[in-house]
């Protein structure tokens, strides 16, 4: 078995371009150096190692790399990392199974479908009989090229993504069963011709996932995946798909896929909760008993490819100095450099935030007290660890702000707590995250409010200026589902 990973999520509307250094700075593990803990898109390494120890097969590891979501990937970066993995695969031949940990929404200069390109080249190397298995983020663009090149594919089921290791274990088990001939996977893919936008932490997404989990492993159904799609990309294959893998039961797969597609389309175009603006969100938080109330700055989420440096909620809180609040993490490597030089306890005039784009708002100028600094702010994310780089906590009256030198969404309360910010003492906590904060913050929050502050991440698919997306598609116009396989 060969395993490799190459992943990022590309917001084609984002002004932030990335090159190879973005992968090397975020996560880059040459062959044999992947940690024992999984990352979001490389959990197949950990799952494959467990199965190799259990069953005694030979596991050959390739490179694993990840870049924080952003705008377009440089052509040279994608081609270099792709060719590195393909060289390793050629060197590993012959293989029975090749596994790839991917995101599924990488777009590079000259490549609208990086994953499809990588997988087609991998298939040419391993031949028609080897099993190719892929794990994908549900916010992917599942393309015909990806489907044609793979034998089995599995997406995370949960949004927020709390199950990437479990799904990697499913993928490895399914790929091994296929390679041994224990099952004959038939992959059915139905393009719903819609753009889904729902969480699985609340209804109706929660019930959908629970039902899917109860169906798997019964009556010949091997696996079910829901591709939500990633609307912040202007490429042809944006959209929601249903994937059903059966044990050589095409009609059963089609019937189940059609049933699930109908159910998802009935959710409507947007099943996200109502999102107030900054001032209204603050008023709602103050009217809530207890604390802290978490305000999620959903559209300034670095996990969606934007900067994480908008200042709209920050400014609204500065207008309410009586409120005990915390905001983080704001991406501003220059401001962090100034804070590190000044040191903990220092007071200085600081300009921070609002630098990446006009839609980030204006920078904030304030006199701050540096509460804490660290050369590498590492925080938990599920079974993994994520670095925010050098970071600082600064105080402006009753408002505490975490500044980070690396873009990453606010996954965990440790973003604040490990820098000395006690969230139990705050009425409002602002997180730069769309959904992945939920698992860790929900237990400490009296309420969670999703806030619409605007920004470069397009919040409403119906208003996105798409030029390349395949039409027709809901909610842009009426459209009917289309079979891909």
The string over 7-39, giving b where at least 16 C-beta atoms fall within 10 Å of a residue's C-beta and e elsewhere, is bbbbbbbbbbebebebbebbbbbebeebeeebb
Say what the pLDDT of residue 456 is: 63
Considering only CA atoms, give the Rg of the chain. Answer: 22
pLDDT for the residue 383: 79
Tens of pLDDT, residue by residue over 214-237, are: 999 999 999 999 999 999 999 999
15: left (phi over 0), alpha (psi -120 to 50) or beta: alpha
| In the block, residue with structure tokens 């920004």 | 455
Identify the segments of the chain with pLDDT beneath 70.
269-273, 455-459
Q: Which residues pair with 482 in a beta bridge?
A: 191
What are the start-end ranges of the E strands in 269-425? Answer: 293-297, 325-331, 347-352, 364-374, 378-381, 384-387, 391-396, 399-404
pLDDT at 272: 60
Query: So what's the pLDDT on residue 89?
Result: 99
The answer to whether the CB of 12 falls within 8 A of the CB of 70 is no
Question: SS3 sequence, 383-415?
Answer: CEEEECCCEEEEEECCEEEEEECCCCCCCCCHH
Among the listed residues 479, 485, 478, 476, the one whose alpha carbon sits nearest the alpha carbon of residue 234: 476
Cβ atoms of 229 and 139 within 8 Å: the answer is yes
Query: Which three-class secondary structure state does DSSP give residue 221?
Result: strand
* Residue located via tokens 């699985």: 200
pLDDT at residue 457, as a whole number: 67
pLDDT at 181: 98
């Amino acid at each position: 078995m060969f395993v490799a990973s190459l992943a990022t999520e590309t917001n084609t509307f984002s002004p932030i371009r990335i090159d190879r250094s973005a992968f090397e700075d975020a996560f880059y593990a040459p062959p044999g150096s992947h940690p024992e803990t999984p990352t979001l898109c490389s959990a197949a390494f950990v799952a494959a190692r467990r199965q190799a120890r259990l069953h005694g097969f030979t596991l050959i590891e390739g490179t694993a790399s990840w870049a924080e979501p952003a705008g377009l990937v440089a052509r040279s970066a994608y081609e270099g990392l792709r060719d590195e993995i393909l060289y390793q695969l050629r060197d590993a031949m012959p293989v029975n199974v090749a596994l790839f940990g991917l995101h599924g929404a990488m777009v590079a200069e000259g490549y609208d479908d990086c994953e499809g390109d990588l997988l087609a080249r991998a298939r040419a190397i391993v031949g028609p009989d080897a099993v190719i298995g892929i794990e994908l983020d549900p916010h992917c663009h599942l393309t015909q090229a990806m489907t044609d090149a793979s034998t089995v594919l599995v997406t995370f089921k949960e949004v927020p993504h709390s199950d990437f290791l479990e799904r990697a274990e499913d993928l490895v088990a399914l790929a091994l069963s296929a390679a041994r001939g224990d099952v004959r996977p038939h992959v059915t893919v139905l393009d719903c011709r819609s753009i889904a936008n729902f969480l699985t932490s609340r209804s109706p997404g929660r019930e959908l996932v629970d039902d899917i989990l109860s169906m798997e492993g019964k009556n010949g159904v091997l696996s079910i995946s829901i591709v939500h799609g990633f609307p912040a990309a202007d490429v042809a294959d944006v959209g929601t798909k249903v994937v059903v893998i059966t044990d050589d039961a095409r009609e059963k797969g089609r019937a189940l896929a059609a049933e699930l597609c109908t159910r998802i389309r009935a959710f409507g175009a947007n099943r996200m909760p109502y999102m107030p603006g900054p001032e209204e969100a603050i008023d709602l938080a103050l009217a809530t008993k207890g604390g802290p109330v978490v305000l999620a700055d959903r559209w300034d989420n670095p996990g969606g490819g934007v900067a994480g440096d908008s200042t709209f909620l920050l400014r609204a809180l500065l207008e309410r100095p009586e409120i005990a609040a915390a905001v983080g993490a704001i991406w501003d490597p220059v401001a962090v450099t100034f804070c590190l030089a000044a040191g903990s306890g220092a007071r200085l005039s600081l300009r921070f935030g609002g630098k990446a784009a006009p839609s980030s708002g204006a920078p904030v100028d304030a006199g701050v007290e540096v509460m804490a600094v660290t050369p590498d702010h590492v925080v938990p994310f599920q079974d993994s660890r994520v670095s925010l780089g050098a970071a600082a906590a600064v105080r402006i009256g009753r408002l505490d702000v975490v500044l980070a030198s690396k873009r990453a969404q606010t996954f965990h309360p440790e973003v604040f707590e490990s820098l000395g910010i006690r969230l139990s003492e705050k009425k409002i906590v602002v997180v730069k995250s769309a959904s992945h904060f939920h698992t860790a913050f929900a237990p400490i929050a009296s309420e969670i409010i999703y806030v619409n502050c605007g920004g470069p991440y397009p919040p409403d698919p119906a208003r996105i200026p798409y030029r390349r997306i395949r039409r027709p598609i809901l909610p842009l116009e009426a459209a009917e589902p289309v079979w891909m396989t």
